[in-house]
Structure 1
Amino acid sequence: MIRPLLLITLSLLLILTAVPGARLSAAETTPVTLPLARSIQPLLSAHPGKTGLYVLEKGEESLLARAWLADHATKSIDVQYFIWSSDNIGILASEALLRAAERGIRVRVLVDDLLIDAPPESLLALARHPNIDIRIYNPKMTVGTSKVKRFANVVTGFRSVNQRMHDKTALFDGMVGITGGRNMADEYYDFDQEYTFRDRDMLMLGPTVAEAEASFARFWESPLAVPVEKLLKKPMKKMTPERTGQVYAGLHAYAGKPENFAPEVRQALQNLPRRFDGLLREMVWDEARFISDLPGKNSGREGLGGGGRSTAALVDAVSRAKRRVTIQSPYLVMPEGGVELFRKLIRRGVEVRIVTNSLAATDNLQAFSGYRKQRNRLLKAGITIREFRPDPAVRQELIDRYPKLKEKPPTFALHAKTMVIDGVTLFVGTFNLDPRSANLNTEVGVMVRNPALARQVEERIERDMRPENSWNPATDNPDRRASAAKRNRLRLWKSLPLTPIL
C-alpha cells in the first residue's frame, strides 16, 4: 500500500529506526550506554554455533525491536527492502537514522527501484552524508529514468523490469538481524488508522545473521545495484553543501515537534530497554538456515519462469512432509506445478491447509484475481483453504492500541508469509505463494527445525483460520461480503492473462 504524499526517501529509512516518535529530552529517554555487542555477545557465547530466534507477531513489537537495535548499533546498519511509504513514521525514523550516521555508524541502504517516488534532491542529500550510501536495485522504471526510456524498457525487456528485489532485511553490527514480511509504512506496524496488516517477522542472532550479511553483500556488489549518484548525475551537480544542510535541518526540526508523535509512542520509547530485554530472554536457540536468492533470480532462459534458490529450498521442504503443511500467504496463485505438488501430498495422506486474504480484505486485486480463477481447482485438489476477514477478532490481540481504535478499527488484511511442516519445521520470510515469488522476485527467509517454535507459530496460524477470523470458501462464497465496486473491478482483472506475473 503506497502513499506518495511525502518524501519517499525519508521513509526508506524507517527500516533502520522504525519508531514513530521524535527525539525526546535527555530526561525522557534512556541514554545509549551499552553497545550492541556487549548486550548480545554473552548470549552468543552461551549458545555456541546456534542461532537465537524470536518471532515478532505484533507490529509495534517489531517496530520497537528495530528502534532498539538502531540506537545501540556501534558499527554498521545494512538494510535491504522493497516498499517504503511516506508517512509520519517514515519521516521521524529517517531523522533518527540521520542521527545514527552523524554519530559515526556506517549505513548502507539498498532499495528496489520500482516503487520509489522520491525527489532527486532528497535522495542525494542523504547519499551525500559520508556515512550513508544508497543504491538502487534494477533501476529501469523510476530513479533517473525518463518516461520514454521507461516505456522502451518495458517493451524491450518485459521480464527484466518485472524482476524485483522483494528481500526485507535489517542487519545491525553484523550480529543481529530482522527479516520477514513487513515493509516500511504505518500499516505494517499497526499505526495506520484505516488499513493495517497481520504480518510476521523473525528476530535473529548468531550464525544465520552472517548468512544474511553474505546475501546482502552479494546484492550490494551486484551490477544491478547502482549508486544513486550515478543515476542522478545532473541533479547531483546542483546539490550544494548549503542545500544538503537544509534538508538535514528540516528533518531535525520536524522530529523536534511534539505534535508529530502520539503520547503512546512516547511511552513506547521510554519502555524500550525493558521490552527488548524481554525479547532476548524469550529467544529459542537452534540451528537455522537463511534462505536467499541470487541477484537477478535466474538466467531467464525459461521466459517468465525459471525458479530460484528460495523456490527450490521450499519445494524440497514441502515435498518431505509426512503429516501436514500449514501455510499463511497474502496471495495464493499456484505457480506451474504447484497444484500437482500439493495433490501428490494429499494423496499420500498429508493434510494441506492454507489461509490467504478474502476479497473483502485484500489490497491487491490483481493477485486475488489469479487466486479466484484457481480457487475451485484448489478446493477440488483437497486443499483446506480459509480466507482472512477484514474484521477478524484476532486484531484485538495483535494491535496493542486496539482499545483506542475500537470505535473505528482499521481494515485488517493478511501479509505474513509463513509455512510450518509437520509441526516441526518453520519458515518465516518474504516468499508469497505465487508465480512472482517463485520465478521473478528475489526472496529471503529463515528456516528452522524446532518443534517448540514451529508449533507456537502453527497455533497462531490455526487461530487465524478460526471462523471468527476467516471464512471458509468450501461452504460459502466470501466474495459476496466485498463491496459491489470491488467485485466489479475483480471481474476486469480476471479477464486478463496476468497469472505468470502475479
Structure 2
Amino acid sequence: MSLLQRLALASLIALLPACATLTPAQREHAARLVLEARPQQVDCDRADACAQPSPLRALAAEAFAQSTPETPRHYALLLDRGTDALLARINLIRSATTAIELQTYIFDEDDAGRLVLDELIAAARRGVRVRVLIDQLAALRHVDTLTALAAAHANFEVRLYNPVLQRARTSYPQYVLAAACCWRGLNQRMHTKLLLVDGAVGISGGRNYQDEYYDWDPEYNFRDRDVLVAGPTARVMDVEFDAFWNDRRSVPVERLIDIGRRVLREGVPTLHPAQFEQPQRAEAMRVDAGDEALVQQRLADRALPVGEVRYVSDPPDKHEGEGHEHAAASESLRTLIESAREEVMLQTPYLVLSKPAQQMFREMQERADPPRVIISTNSLASTDAFIVYALSYKYKRRYLRDFGFTIYEYKPFPLDAPVDLAATGVALPASQPAGVPHARRPRHPQGSATERERYRHLSREYAALRYARRRANEPVPLRRAGVRVGLHAKSLVIDRQVGVVGTHNFDPRGDEYNTESAVVIRDPAFARELAASIERDIAPANSWVIAPRDKPPVLSGLDYSLGKVSEHLPVFDLWPVRYATSYEFMPGPACPLPVPPDTPGFRACYRPVGDFPEVSLGLKGLTTRIFTAFGAGLAPIL
C-alpha cells in the first residue's frame, strides 16, 4: 500500500465516527424516553401564571390601548448598556403570562447564559409555554446540558437550527466532513436574534447569550445594542418566529443523533444547578430584576413613544437555493440607505461590503449632492476577528475616496463607553470611575485554559472560522493589558429620521448565508437618540478617525496609482504603503472640537498614530497584512 493510500485510509477511518447514526426506531425510542421524562406539574394555578408585574410589560398595554389599525402606537427603548440589556430580559421573562419565544445564534453555558436558562425554566414551571431556538453551530457546550434541557419540563422546548450532520455538537472530523460535502449548507446559519414575551414585547439586536454581551467578562466585552419594542409589531415578530420554529431545519434536540445515543446509553441526565463563576453578581441581577421601581427608573422611563415600527426578518426560505433570493433584511436596508438625502450613519463591527453594497455606495457618491456617509466600526486593536479586519484594511482607499466614507474605528480601551466595568468582576483602581475603561492587568494570564476557551467562543459568529486554530480566533495582542472592548452593534440612521437596530453586519455573510433581522423605526426622536449613541462611539475618546496619510514628497501620483492597482488584485496585494492611516484628535486653543477629515485644518488638529494603533505588532500584525494581500476570496464567507 502506497503512502498516499495509507493517508487516505487513515483519513477515512478518522471520519467514520462522523457517519455513525441511529436507526429510525432508535431515534423514536430515544425521543419517547425524553418526552416521558418531562415533568408535567405546574407550580401556579393562577390564570396569569403568577407573572411578576413589570413596567416594561406595562408599556405594551399602553401601546395597544393607544393603537388603531390605521395608526399603530409603540414604545421603543434603546439598550446600550449590557447590564441593562440583561436586566430587561430577565424582568420580561418573569412578566410572561402565556408564552416566551427566544431565538438566537449563540447560547453559552457561562454565568449570563445559565442565569437566563434558569429564568426560562422557572417560567415554564409556573405555566408559561417556552420555546427556545438556537443555531446549532453555537448552541451550548455540552450534549448533556442539551439533553437535560430537552426533558426539563413539558412547557419547555428546545430546537436547534440547521444541525450539522444532525448532531447537537460537532467534532473536528465531523466538521471537516460537513465542509467537504456541504460547504454552502454548513455556512447557512440563523443569525436572527429575538426575545418575545406574550406576543406583546420584543427585544432584538446584536446580543447573543454569553457573558461578553452583558459586561460580565473580565477580559473582553462587546459594546453592543438592542432595542426593546412594545406594541402591535410584536405580533409580526410572533409570526416570523413561528416560521422558523416550524421549518424543517429546526430540529427538536431529542431527535438529534448524539443526544439520542446519550439517552439510549445512559438515560436522561438531570440539569445540574448552575455553578456561577460570580454567584453574588448573578444573585444581585436576580434581585434587581424583581425591583419594580428600579426597572421603572433605569429602563421604562427612558422608553420613547413612537409610531410606525417594522420588524424585517429573513425567512428560513433564504436557505433554499441562492441566499439573495429571500434576503428581506438586506433589501430593506439597501432601500433605506438609497433613500438618504443628507446623511447615512452606519455602525458595523466588520466593514466588509458585498459587491451590490459597494455598487450602491459608488452610485450614491456620483449624485450631484451625495449624502454624507459616517461609518463606525472596529479597529484591529478592538476587533474579535482580525482576519475580517484585514479585508476592511485592504479597501480603505476605496471606502474613503470612491464611496466618500468618513470612517471611525473603535478603540480597545474607550474612555466614555456604555460598558459597566464594575460588572466584569475586575478590581478597579480606587481613583478610577466604574464606567470608564482603564488599562489594568487581566484576571487570567494570556494563554491560560480559561483564555483559550473564551476566545474560541468569541469566534463563533463566523462559521468558516469555527475550527480555526486558537491564535487565529483571539483578538490581537496589545501593548498594554486591560478589559478590552470591541464593537458589536449593528445600527443605521437615515437623515436623522429613521433608526434601525438589527443583526445584519452589512456584510456578504448577511446578504448570502445568514438569516438576519432588523427593527426599523420611522421617528425623528428615536433616530436622534440612536444617532447620539453612535456619535458617542465615534467621539475622540472612543475612536480613531481614518484619513489619507500625508503624500510622499516625491512621486506621490505613482505611489497612489500603484497602491490602487495593488488593491484591485484578488491576491498579491503587496504594495507596502496604504492610502490611509489612523489619526488621534489633539485638542487645544486652536482645536476646541473634533472635525471631519475633509475639513480645512484637519491635520493641524490631528496626528497620525499608525495603521494599527495600540497593537503589539508581531506575528498577528504580519498575518493581518498577509490576509490583506491574499484573503480577498474569503470575503463572501467572512
- TM-score of the aligned structures, taking structure 1 as reference length: 0.85
How much does 1:277 deviate? 6.1
Tell me: CA distance 1:305–1:206, structure 2 relative to 1, closer, same or farther (3 Å). closer
How much does 1:456 deviate? 1.2
Deviations 1:415-451 (A, max 9, x none): 1000001110111000002100111100001001111
Tell me: CA distance 1:391–1:416, structure 2 relative to 1, closer, same or farther (3 Å). same
Tell me: CA distance 1:99–1:356, structure 2 relative to 1, closer, same or farther (3 Å). same
The gaps in structure 1 that reach 5 residues or longer are 1-30
Count residues with an aligned counterpart. 462
The one-letter code of the counterpart of 1:472 is V
Tell me: CA distance 1:108–1:270, structure 2 relative to 1, closer, same or farther (3 Å). closer
Runs of 4+ residues deviating >6 angstroms:
35-39
Partner of 2:86: 63
Partner of 1:343: 362
Question: What is the aligned-residue identity percentage?
Answer: 35
The more displaced of 183-192 and 168-177 is 183-192
Partner of 2:407: 385
How much does 1:267 deviate? 6.1
Partner of 2:159: 135
Aligned residue for 1:261, secondary structure, equals helix
Aligned residue for 1:313, secondary structure, equals helix
Tell me: CA distance 1:118–1:259, structure 2 relative to 1, closer, same or farther (3 Å). closer
Name the CA distance, whole Å, in 2 between partners of 1:84 and 1:483: 32
Name the CA distance, whole Å, in 2 between partners of 1:407 and 1:135: 41
Aligned residue for 2:236, secondary structure, equals helix
Deviations 1:233-273 (A, max 9, x none): 222334646x43xx2xx316x47x99453686466346454
1:101-116 counterparts in 2 under 5 A?
101-116=124-139
The one-letter code of the counterpart of 1:181 is G
Q: Would you say 1:499 and 2:635 are equivalent positions? A: yes
Q: Would you say 1:360 and 2:377 are equivalent positions? A: no
Aligned residue for 1:331, secondary structure, equals coil
Whether the aligned pair in 2 keeps the contact of 1:121 and 1:239 (CA below 8 Å) is no
Tell me: CA distance 1:103–1:307, structure 2 relative to 1, closer, same or farther (3 Å). closer
Aligned residue for 2:381, secondary structure, equals coil
Whether the aligned pair in 1 keeps the contact of 2:288 and 2:294 (CA below 8 Å) is no
Deviations 1:80-114 (A, max 9, x none): 00012332222233222222221121111111011
Name the CA distance, whole Å, in 2 between partners of 1:258 and 1:353: 39
Q: Would you say 1:193 and 2:218 are equivalent positions? A: yes
1:145-160 counterparts in 2 under 5 A?
148-160=173-185
Among 380, 396, 409, the alignment partner of 1:375 is 396
Among 261, 264, 289, the alignment partner of 1:237 is 264
Partner of 2:236: 211
The more displaced of 414-423 and 135-144 is 135-144
Among 405, 411, 422, the alignment partner of 2:484 is 411
Name the CA distance, whole Å, in 2 between partners of 1:230 and 1:263: 35
1:71-82 counterparts in 2 under 5 A?
71-82=94-105
Tell me: CA distance 1:353–1:293, structure 2 relative to 1, closer, same or farther (3 Å). same
Tell me: CA distance 1:451–1:366, structure 2 relative to 1, closer, same or farther (3 Å). same
How much does 1:366 deviate? 2.2
Tell me: CA distance 1:78–1:307, structure 2 relative to 1, closer, same or farther (3 Å). closer
Tell me: CA distance 1:300–1:84, structure 2 relative to 1, closer, same or farther (3 Å). same
Name the CA distance, whole Å, in 2 between partners of 1:106 and 1:297: 28
Partner of 1:437: 510
Give the root-mean-square deviation of aligned CA atoms: 2.6
Deviations 1:273-316 (A, max 9, x none): 43246633433221111010011425434xx7657111111111
Tell me: CA distance 1:90–1:347, structure 2 relative to 1, closer, same or farther (3 Å). same
Deviations 1:430-484 (A, max 9, x none): 0002100111100001001111110111122122112221112215344143121
Name the CA distance, whole Å, in 1 between partners of 2:333 and 2:416: 28
Deviations 1:152-178 (A, max 9, x none): 321122111111000110011111110
Tell me: CA distance 1:156–1:200, structure 2 relative to 1, closer, same or farther (3 Å). same
Partner of 1:455: 528
Deviations 1:314-371 (A, max 9, x none): 1111111111111010001010122221122223221111110000000111211221
1:11-50 counterparts in 2 under 5 A?
33-34=52-53, 40-48=60-68, 49-50=72-73
Tell me: CA distance 1:65–1:33, structure 2 relative to 1, closer, same or farther (3 Å). closer
Partner of 1:481: 614
Aligned residue for 2:130, secondary structure, equals strand
Q: Would you say 1:471 and 2:514 are equivalent positions? A: no
The more displaced of 152-161 and 317-326 is 152-161
The more displaced of 486-495 and 104-113 is 486-495
Aligned residue for 1:448, secondary structure, equals strand
Q: Would you say 1:316 and 2:335 are equivalent positions? A: yes
Name the CA distance, whole Å, in 1 between partners of 2:526 and 2:168: 41
Q: If you compute each CA radius of gyration, which structure gives the higher value, 1 or 2?
A: 2
Name the CA distance, whole Å, in 2 between partners of 1:343 and 1:437: 20
Partner of 1:87: 110
The gaps in structure 2 that reach 5 residues or longer are 1-49, 424-432, 441-481, 549-581, 583-609
Among 245, 252, 257, the alignment partner of 1:227 is 252
Name the CA distance, whole Å, in 1 between partners of 2:278 and 2:180: 49
The one-letter code of the counterpart of 1:334 is L
- TM-score of the aligned structures, taking structure 2 as reference length: 0.68
Aligned residue for 1:130, secondary structure, equals coil
Whether the aligned pair in 2 keeps the contact of 1:417 and 1:430 (CA below 8 Å) is yes
Whether the aligned pair in 1 keeps the contact of 2:130 and 2:156 (CA below 8 Å) is yes
Whether the aligned pair in 1 keeps the contact of 2:343 and 2:371 (CA below 8 Å) is yes
The more displaced of 424-433 and 266-275 is 266-275
Among 241, 256, 261, the alignment partner of 2:281 is 261
Whether the aligned pair in 1 keeps the contact of 2:63 and 2:73 (CA below 8 Å) is no
Aligned residue for 1:359, secondary structure, equals coil
Among 331, 348, 351, the alignment partner of 1:332 is 351
Tell me: CA distance 1:69–1:426, structure 2 relative to 1, closer, same or farther (3 Å). same
Whether the aligned pair in 2 keeps the contact of 1:112 and 1:137 (CA below 8 Å) is yes
